[in-house]
Amino acid sequence: MAVDYADHLYAGGYFGTAGGILASRVAKWDGSAWSPLGSGVDDQIKALTVDGIGNVYAGGYFTTAGGDSANYIAKWDGSAWSPLGSGMNNTVRALLLNGSGTLFSAGDFTIAGTNVSAYLASAELGISTVLSNLSVAQREGTKLVDLYYDFLSTGTNTAPVYIAIADRGVAVNAPSTTGDIGTNVVPGVMKHLVWDGGADWTENVATLQFTLHDDVEPGNGSESSLLAKTGQTISYATGDDGDLQT
C-alpha cells in the first residue's frame, strides 16, 4: 500500500474488485470510495510507492499494465500506465523512492533494463515539480495581496519559486513580496506569499496579472527549463481610489 500527498490510499495485490467495482490488482481509496487505476495490471502487485506529485509506481509479477507491455514494473500518472524502460526479467518485490528522485527496486530479477543487476537496481527519475491551484485575493481596504498555491515535487528538497506581475503586459517590479517565495521553497500545499502592492505599484487604473514560475527573469529564453509552466493567470483591476478591485 502507499499514500499520496492528498491522503489517497493505493492498494495492490491479486484482487479483481475493490468495493464492488472492477479493479485489476490495484485500486485507489479517496476517503469515500474505491476506484480503479485504468485497466490495472495482468498479475499480482507486490510493491507500490508514490512520488510527491501523485505518480504511482508498481512492481510485481505482471507483464502488462493498462493493456501494454510493462515487465514487472510500471508507472501510473493519474490517467495512464507506462512502462519504466524495458523493465526487469523477473518479479519486483519491493520499491523505494528517495527524496532525490532515485527509485530503488528489489526482487527476483537479474537484469534491469539492459543491465545485469542481480536482485537490486536503481533508476534516476529526476525531480519534477508542479505549480497549481493559484489563488489571489486583496485584503480589504489595503494594497496587500495574498497568493496561495500548491507546490508539489517528486523530491523532498527545496526548489525556487518566483512571482511575475504585469500591468497590461508591462512587468511590475515586486521586491515587496514575502512568504513562500525565492530560491528555497519547501514543497507542499497551500503555500502562501504576500505582495505589498502599495510599496511597489502606484498606478490607479490597471489590470494586473500574477504568474508563478521558477525563473528569476521570465522571458529570457530559459522557459523550456521551467519547473512548471505558467499556470492560472489572475487579473485584478484598480478603481480610481487606487485600491485593487476584482
DSSP 41: B
Q: Are 174 and 74 in contact (CB under 8 A)?
A: no
Distance from C-alpha of 81 to C-alpha of 75, rounded to nearest angstrom? 6
Q: Are 35 and 8 in contact (CB under 8 A)?
A: no
Res. 244 pLDDT band, cuts 50 70 90: very low
198 three-state secondary structure: helix
Distance from C-alpha of 55 to C-alpha of 66, rounded to nearest angstrom? 15
Res. 145 pLDDT band, cuts 50 70 90: confident
In terms of Cα–Cα distance, which of 156, 158, 154 is closest to 56?
154
Per-residue pLDDT tens over the stretch 186-231: 888 899 999 888 888 776 555 677 777 765 444 443 332 222 333 3
Cell numbers found for residue 144: 496587500
Q: Are 45 and 62 in contact (CB under 8 A)?
A: yes
Distance from C-alpha of 239 to C-alpha of 96, rounded to nearest angstrom? 54
HEC-encoded secondary structure of 121-137:
EEEECCCCEEEEEEEEE
Per-residue pLDDT tens over the stretch 65-107: 999 999 999 999 999 999 999 999 999 999 999 988 899 999 9
Q: Residues for the chain: how many in total?
A: 246
Res. 111 pLDDT band, cuts 50 70 90: very high
DSSP per-residue string spanning 51-118: -TTS-EEEEES-SEETTEE--SEEEE-SS-EEE-TT-BSS-EEEEEE-TTSEEEEEES-SEETTEE-S
